[in-house]
Amino acid sequence: MQMPPALAPALPAGEAGQHYYLPSRSLAPAPPAAAPGWQRQQRRAYGWGLYPALMVLALITLAPLLTLIVVSLTPLSLTDPAGTFHFRDPLGNYRQLLKDPRFLHSLWVQFQLSSVGVTLQLLMGLGIALLLHGRSPVLGAVRSLFLIPMVLPPIVVALIWKILYTPDISPLHQALEALGWPLRSLIANPDTALWAVVAADTWQWFPFTMLMVLAALQMIPDDPLEAARMDGANRWQLLRFIVFPHIRAVLLVCALFRLIDSFKAFPLLYVLTNGGPGTVTEVTNFYGFIQAFNFSFWGYGSAIALVMLAGVFALSALVSRLGREGGHDAR
Amino acid sequence: MGASALWGMPAFAQRAKPLQGTTLNVALFSTAYSKLLRPWIAEFEESTGARVNFDTPGFPVYNQRTDLELSTKGSAYDVVNVTFIYSSRWINSGWLTPLDDFIANRNLTPADFDINDFLAGARAPETGADGKLYGVPWTAEVTLAAASRFDVLRSAGLAFPDTLDDFSRAVQTAHRKERAAGFVTDNHYGWTFPPFLQAFGGDVFRKAPHDLFPTLDTPEAIAAADYFARLLRDFGPDGAVSYTADQSLQSLKSGRSNLGIQGQIYLSQLADKASSKVAATTAWGAVPRGPAGRFPGSAVHGLGIPVGSKNAPAAWQFIAWATSRQITQRAVAAGYGSPTRRSDMQSQVFAERQRVNGYDIAKLSSEAIDLAAKQGHMKYRTVAVYPQIDQQINKAIELIVSGQKSAAAAMQQAQIGALAELKRSGIAV
């Protein structure tokens, strides 16, 4: 397509399309050289067109966040909203968090749940994806079966595991007892309760990693694999030096998604253990939920939520950075 | 005769479809009463023209949702259950509408409604500090004891346990007899533990509602916690600490547990031949007596109107209907085991239904209500900060049963936690 004569000199080759189709550039700093007047008008027009959408987006995403920040700076309690919505000690909630042993314990529980749970999900997802990678109707059917836990509503998953973990009615416990290996309740034992929740969470979410890795495996070109095989590489070497570099970025994305999601673990804990026995399975968001919705301490609950948010941001940044560094290494 | 006349509607409601076009959002937790009421609501809708959205989530979900809604003074609900544990908080925070004017208005309330027919002990927790009534009670639940396999105890030469020592002996005797655990109870320990705490001479607060200094680490409280936790740890079913009220009931109904302490609404279901394997072998009795006496738990729930409701008169119409003599009599006839009208409790139908295997559950319940009213030992439960203390008790018992802490350490931790919660709530102790 022939460009209009006035446009051709102003747009470097390869960028013309971006100028036309990425109106967000209109928000970028102006280029050193003054752009022709019609271009400025065009950018301004794009900008005006974009502002309503940006405002809606800001309203939807930033307003709740700002509310959360503001509320976290107050001791707001819903039993006395008028008397407790003030800023006399804006950092009071945060100071109290540092001294609250139940909150600090919840961070440790969260760390254990997230780190072990996500690691297991990645390992299982990767392992099963490698086993099921292939072109056969049987493998396709098995892949579909493995996806079922992921698409079940979380509350259904929680109920399935509640049945499995209740010795009186559990087929698992009954089968083990029949074999002469009676198993005590896992969710009532403080040594096993958290790991019982981790097992249920892993069962539900390893298919996510499996699905992502399977998709990545299908993108690996055959040539390097065949070349390596001809050079005598064994299966481990193929995995280590060819397959793994190709799927590493996907694994990092999976880790990031699952890590963030693990902070939101709730239905499993609510149904299986209710944070107990004692507080051994009480993760941070569960504790925040209790403070806000059982006790009506919204200020304190908001402070807990903000600390979690900061944690999620920090983790996301860390994982992204690791991903970038990993990418450089791979190259 | 029209349906409205049949249900004792006032003159106002006996006009054709007086609430046509009105939608009432009613929230009550899932319970025997709500299950009975649900199919009958169509009759209320038919006679008044109102449309009723009847929401009945589980108890904890209901409380969280309603607490939040009421605290914002929102208009999402027109009728709510005034939950016992939240009654002081909801009423004294000004989140509910006083009902006295509706009750006194003959245009809105039929003459035979008679608020004084409701037990005084059941109305008391629904009454605010201003003396006004904020909820019409529909259930007065008390904690009772039951032995689902009393035949096992009897064959061992034991009578139904009366004292804490008897109870402990009975539980030990019953444990692992015919594959049943000795004892089971609902893991809402803030409800099931206080009868033991008070029987040992302890209490939750020094003197509720006036002196709210917590007393969870007294020698009596520690001894009670040790006793109670030992029942669950040594003689409970595997995983007893995770048993909800429903699970506990199922364990008793199926004969997998023998002795239990729970609300009579649950324990009376052991007599249901259709669903209970132990209907013929169950015995009922009062909660055990300790050195300080007998302290059955009692809890009253009522129907009230949120202050934010836009349909208060219509909401009252629903409450007046749902707690009318006609409806409560019908519920009792259908097997409802926890009426709050004296006329229902004294009715022949109720007396016959509640007499099972030679035990009079209705009499046990009314005695427990009277005892609670006389001793005033349930006052700890309706202070505004109790939900937080309830949680401290739950956690303490869980810690002891699961072997994470000794009774002394767990109760001391609960005491510290309770003091912190009181301080945060602005209560000087």
B285 and B153 assigned to the same domain:
yes
The β-bridge partners of B80 are B27, B304
Based on the fold, state whether residues B110 and B217 are members of the same structural domain. Answer: no
Which of chain B's residues have a Cβ under 8 Å away from the Cβ of A77?
Answer: 425
Measured on CA atoms in the order B173, B174, B179, B183, is the torsion positive or negative?
A: negative
Give per-residue burial for B228-245: e unless 16+ CB within 10 Å, then b: bbbbbbebbbbbbbbbbb
The verdict on residue B375 lying in a domain is: no
Same domain, B330 and B389: no
Query: Mean pLDDT throughout B74-99?
Result: 92
Q: Do B398 and A80 touch (CB under 8 A)?
A: no
User: Mean pLDDT over all residues of chain B?
Assistant: 91
Calculate mean pLDDT across residues B262-290. 94
- Domain-located, residue B203: yes
Which residues contact residue B188 at a Cβ distance below 8 angstroms, ignoring those fewer than 6 apart?
B244, B245, B394
Does the pLDDT value for residue B2 go beyond 50?
no
B392 shares a domain with B258 = yes
Say if the Cβ atoms of B426 and A296 lie within 8 Å: no
Which of B83, B252, B402, B412 would best serve as a mutation to test chain A binding (most A beta carbons within 10 A)?
B402
The reported pLDDT for the residue numbered A322 is: 72
Same domain assignment for residues B157 and B232: yes
- Please tell me whether residues B329 and B248 are part of one structural domain: no
Quote helix, strand, coil % in chain A, to nearest 5. Answer: 75, 0, 25
Both B272 and B334 in one domain: the answer is no
Residue B363 within any structural domain of the chain: no
Q: What is the pLDDT of residues A201-235, one digit of tens each?
A: 999 999 999 999 999 999 999 898 899 999 999 98
Task: Examine the domain organization and report whether B45 and B78 are in the same domain.
Answer: yes
Tell whether B48 is covered by a domain: yes
The answer, for A192 touching chain B at a CB cutoff of 8 Å, is: no
Q: Which pLDDT belongs to residue A169?
A: 87
How far A114 CA lies from chain B's nearest CA (Å)? 23
Q: Give residue A323's pLDDT.
A: 66
Same domain, B27 and B135: yes
Residue B94: inside a domain, yes or no?
Answer: yes
Q: Can you tell me whether residue B205 is helix, strand or coil? A: strand
A190 interfaces chain B, CB cutoff of 8 Å: yes
The whole domain housing B345 covers 3-141+299-351
Residues 6+ apart with CB under 8 A from B197: B203, B204, B220, B221, B224, B225, B228
Residue-level pLDDT, tens digit, chain A, 331 residues: 344 444 333 434 333 333 333 444 444 444 555 567 888 888 888 888 998 998 898 888 888 999 999 999 999 987 777 788 999 999 999 999 999 999 999 999 999 999 999 999 999 999 999 999 988 889 989 999 999 999 999 999 999 999 999 988 899 999 999 999 999 999 999 999 999 999 999 999 999 999 999 999 999 998 988 999 999 999 899 999 999 999 998 998 899 889 889 998 888 999 999 998 999 999 999 999 999 888 888 999 999 999 999 988 888 788 777 766 655 544 4
Q: Is residue B364 part of a domain?
A: no
For the stretch B6-61, pLDDT in tens is 455 555 555 678 898 899 999 999 888 999 999 999 999 999 999 999 999 988 78
CB contact under 8 A, B425 and A166: no
- Total number of domains in chain B: 2
Among all chains, which residue has been given the structure tokens 């203390």? B389
Same domain? For B125 and B178 the reply is: no
**Does residue B371 belong to any structural domain of this protein?**
no
Judged by CB atoms closer than 8 Å, whether chains meet at A78 and B64 is answered as no
Which run of H or of E encompasses B284? strand B283-285
B374 within a domain of the structure (yes/no): no
Strand partners, B214: B205
B32 and B135 co-located in one domain: yes
Class of A119-330 per CATH? mainly alpha
- The helix-helix angle for B386-401 and B407-424 (nearest 10°) equals 160
Residues of chain A neighbouring B256 (CB-CB closer than 8 A):
168
Q: What is the CATH number of the domain that holds B273?
A: 3.40.190.10
Q: How much is the pLDDT for A178?
A: 92
Residues B151 and B237 in one domain: yes
Q: Which residue of A has its CA nearest to B92?
A: A79
Check residue A14 and give its pLDDT.
Answer: 38
Residue A223's Cα: distance from chain center in Å? 34
Query: Could you give phi then psi for residue B356, rounded to 5 degrees?
Result: -135, 135
- At A95, the amino acid letter reads R
* DSSP category for residue A293: I
CA–CA separation, B339 vs B356, rounded Å? 17
